[in-house]
């Protein structure tokens, strides 16, 4: 997230609040349904997503999800 906040929830039971500077990593694999909603009516939620197509051999892997707090993001 670049600014604001985003609520996240998915069909595997993962849910949380992603704030500015935080990020999330999701591997859809066999499939996962997810939703993201802005965290505030008063503040813009600005973020970006990068979608990468998995190689054929990995497309049916188990879905995975992790939130990475801004305190654990290392930029080099």
- Kindly tell me if the per-residue pLDDT of 76 is higher than 70: no
Rounded Cα distance between 39 and 10, Å, is: 16
Residue 32's φ and ψ, nearest 5 degrees, are: -150, 140
- Give the C-alpha distances (Å, rounded to integers) separating 71 from 33, 48, 76: 28, 19, 14
**Residue located via tokens 């704030």:** 19
Structure confidence at residue 3 (pLDDT):
93
Stretch 48-68: mean pLDDT, rounded?
90
Second CATH level (architecture) for the domain 5-71: Sandwich (2.60)
Please report the pLDDT score of residue 40 as a whole number: 83
Pairing of the two strands 23-27 and 15-19: unpaired
22-55 pLDDT tens trace? 988 888 888 888 898 998 888 899 999 899 999 9
Edge-to-edge order in the sheet of strand 34-38: 15-19, 5-10, 34-38
What is the per-residue pLDDT for 22?
A: 92
């Amino acid at each position: 997230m670049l600014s604001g906040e985003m609520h996240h929830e998915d069909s595997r039971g993962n849910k949380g609040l992603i704030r500015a500077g935080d990020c999330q990593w999701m591997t859809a694999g066999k499939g996962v349904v997810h939703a993201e909603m802005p965290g505030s009516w008063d503040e813009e939620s600005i973020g970006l997503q990068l979608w990468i197509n998995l190689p054929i051999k990995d497309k049916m892997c188990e879905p995975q999800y992790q939130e990475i707090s801004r305190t654990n993001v290392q930029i080099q």
